[in-house]
A and B are shown apart, each in its own frame.
Chain A
Amino acid sequence: MSELEVQATLSRGERSRSRGRRVTPFEVLAVVVALFLLVAGLLPGLLAPGDPLGIDPAAAFQPPSPAHWFGTDESGRDIWTRVVHGAGTSLVIGFAATAIGLGVGLVLGTIAGMLGPAVDFSVNRLLEVLFAFPGLLLALLFILIFGPGVWTATVAVGLSASPGYARIIRGQLLAVRRSSFVEAATVLGRTRRQLLLRHILPNTLAPLFVLGTLGVGQAIVWASALSYLGLGAQPPAAEWGAMLSAGRTYLTTAWWMSFFPGLVIVLTAVAATVLGRAIERRARYA
């Protein structure tokens, strides 16, 4: 914030600064959800000691009860256990897909931003073609070629998110490249490599941390959507999207089969968004 803005909006500035620091109840909830997912992902046995794949036909279609918190499915598998064990898969997909998206985006964005107008033009037209298709459609196309599965779904989600990242990275990079501190470093006699590695990239990537956090939630939702369509994780794997899809058939008689997987997908996405925004706000007012 410039000095002027601060002067002109003293009162507003004061308020927004304190707003930047205050932790809202939603943020606390989001942190709790994130911690839960992390524990579930790393040590699922701690929260649900049972076997996510172990069937017990005698206990099929049981509604939520103290014995089965989230009920059981058509084969008598405990939904709670499966949801907890599914967290790991979802998190790996979410992080891996975001990493792929950011990685590809970073390469494309840096090429476009650093290698001159001709390259910039070409990369931009390529990105526009990719933008013309909805992300999920791109992912479907990719799976059509390489076949369904957890890893193809992950790569597919990552690739379809990458044009967006590339655009943002390119824009950020161009802005940083023209900033006066890069100019000052040029005056000090820095080489292009030094400029890029020491000043331009670090300052381009800092805001991406926020985008990445938001992206993880998005990627989890997308991967679940692909699994739901039968293109990602395959039954009987404990994966939220696949579970949601399996419960669809019994929606009228056993609502819990799809409700609880759906709930965690929503909670994860919301938590990632709230956390991303919280980090963004703090970064801005820091």
Chain B
Amino acid sequence: MSAEPNTGDAPSAVARVLNLSVVFGGTPVVSGVSFDVSAGRCLALVGESGSGKSVTARSLLGLAGAGARVEADALAVAGSSVLGLSERAWRRRRGKDVGLVLQDALVSLDPLRPVGREVADSLRLHMPLDAVARQARVRELLAAVGLPDAGERMRQRSGELSGGQRQRALIAAAIALDPPLLIADEPTTALDVTVQAQILDLLENLKAAGTGILLISHDLAVVSRIADDIAVMAEGRIVESGPAVRVLAAPTHPITQRMLAAIPADKPRHTALAPTSTDTRVVGSGRNRSAIATTTNDSRGETGGAREVVLEARGLVKSFRRPGGGQFLAVDDVSFRLERGTTLGIVGESGSGKTTTARLALALTAPDAGEVRLLGHPFTGIPENERRALRPAIGAIYQDALGSFDPRFTVQDILLDAVTGGRRSGPAASARVRELLDAVALPATLLGRRPLSLSGGQRQRVGIARALAARPDVLVCDEPVSALDVTVQAQVLDLLDELQRERGLSLLFISHDLGVVQHMSDRVAVMQNGCIVETGEASAVFADPRHPYTAQLLAAVPLLPA
């Protein structure tokens, strides 16, 4: 049916929410939210973090949180009201009437128990089956979610499964009792594109089999693959809702438009993804595109000439000892050249050796063979004492910005430390810190705060500011936006793009997200199992992939319907 509040009878509705509000200690987190989920349909609840989408979904499970006051005109799951249910009553309904799939299966599954036992738990609680029948049912469920060798897998612990397999096991546990409603909270956010595509297919199959799905996501491109209806949330309210086709093709609310504009795939290089006040560029307008065309032509023109190679890797090899003995070849004969002022994107799935390549480029780990040259000087194979003189030329930003800051430091400490090189600071240093904050568009009021109290986007901006402190030529970006919401990701990507053009930065941009890499890169290298399987001009590689693996990756990227 539709996401619009439905006042009439909806016999096939597996979840009904009418005028839901959730208040945490006086602060309204969700207000006036209404929607229906029908059997065999998928409603996507989309919004940025903090928009109230997760709390809304959790209210349907009685898990809104301690201290949450949940009120609604109607809140029904599987045809009966769940308003004011006791914790005891909730326990009888969870799993049976509504299943939940969480983002990270690694923390959602008990690491010490075989996954089969995890899946069997809900059967044990709700179904009068003997042990043998239960085993059989678990095997059947694991097979149904497409886990290969279900019989063997059910005896393994979650740590022995891959990310996609874990997510499948979790879905198996959620559908064990065949609940009419399945809530999937960011079910694919932690997964590689190809695995993500498989999980989305699995959800699609469940939907076809008659399960109603409530999909929570911050990514419109992902939900566009399976959602029938979309409700966009912001600040605890549904700001726009309707059939997926309509919302994606003709969004009416500015927030929806912003989220759509933020999706990087298919947007030409140097297009701003987010509207900014400090910037005159307008998102996706025709005027903008022509401006981009000239920039792109410029850079293409120059690429033909002799640009200075700032970072070069030659035949890098790195292997690690496996815990059980034996060697694991993480990086196998990787070579690349990064030219001044350009971006080299390295794309691949988890375990492909991207991060090891980044660590080698930063000389954080020594290669077994091959070498890295920075600005023409050898950067590896020399003692750290000598390398230190070259270090200012190469900076880095990390996926986990928070973890890359000393937990005792405030923003001011972090930046002063970077500016002064750990030495005593003077007024010049303070001025430089302000300048850096300005460059990454952060207000000076944040100086006294600790990174822990900043938002994800702000943290990454502080990380960028720190990396810029030494005026580097090269910036190694290891999954810099993977932990961010799409709209925040757009802002950070725009910032990197702007800084690159202002300062002539050369970026080594590493990501598992093809859309992001495509948007950011002049050249790309596709990695698989430690090798670069394809490399070339970004436009060429993405338009006409030569290697089957590249083609496979491209096919898995969720795209908005054209």
Contact = CB atoms under 8 A, between A and B. Distances in A.
Interface of A: 2, 4-5, 7-8, 10-12, 14-15, 179-181, 183-191, 194, 198-199, 202-203, 206
Contact of B63 (A5, A10, A185): A10
A187 B362 contact: yes
Nearest to B55: A10
A14 B65 contact: yes
A12 B422 CA distance: 40
14 contacts: A14-B65, A180-B400, A181-B405, A181-B407, A184-B466, A187-B395, A188-B466, A189-B421, A190-B421, A190-B422, A194-B422, A198-B406, A202-B406, A202-B408
B364 A183 contact: yes
B404 interface: yes
A185 B107 CA distance: 30
A187 B391 contact: yes
Contacts of B407: 181, 203
B422 A184 contact: no
A189 B388 contact: yes
Contacts of A188: 391, 395, 417-418, 421, 466, 469-470
Contact of B403 (A7, A14, A180, A190): A180
Given A184-B396, A203-B407, A4 B103 contact: yes
Contacts of A10: 58, 63-66
A186 B364 contact: yes
A187 B472 CA distance: 11
Majority-rule SS of B interface residues? loop
Contact of B408 (A7, A194, A203): A203
B481 to A, nearest CB: 15
Interface residues of B, number: 36
Interface of B: 54, 58, 63-67, 102-104, 107-108, 185, 362, 364, 388, 391-392, 394-396, 398, 400, 403-408, 417-418, 421-422, 466, 469-470
A259 to B, nearest CB: 45
Q: Which A-B residue pairs are the 5 nearest by beta carbons? A: A189-B391, A10-B65, A184-B404, A11-B66, A180-B403
Contacts of A206: 408
Nearest to B407: A203
Contact of B396 (A11, A187, A199, A203): A187
Contacts of B408: 202-203, 206
Contacts of B364: 183, 186-187
Contact of A189 (B66, B185, B470): B470
Which of A8, A191, A202 is the most central at the interface, judged by chain B CB atoms within 10 Å of its CB?
A8
Given A185-B406, A189-B421, 5 more contacts: A4-B103, A4-B107, A10-B66, A15-B66, A188-B421
Contacts of B466: 184, 188
Nearest to B108: A8
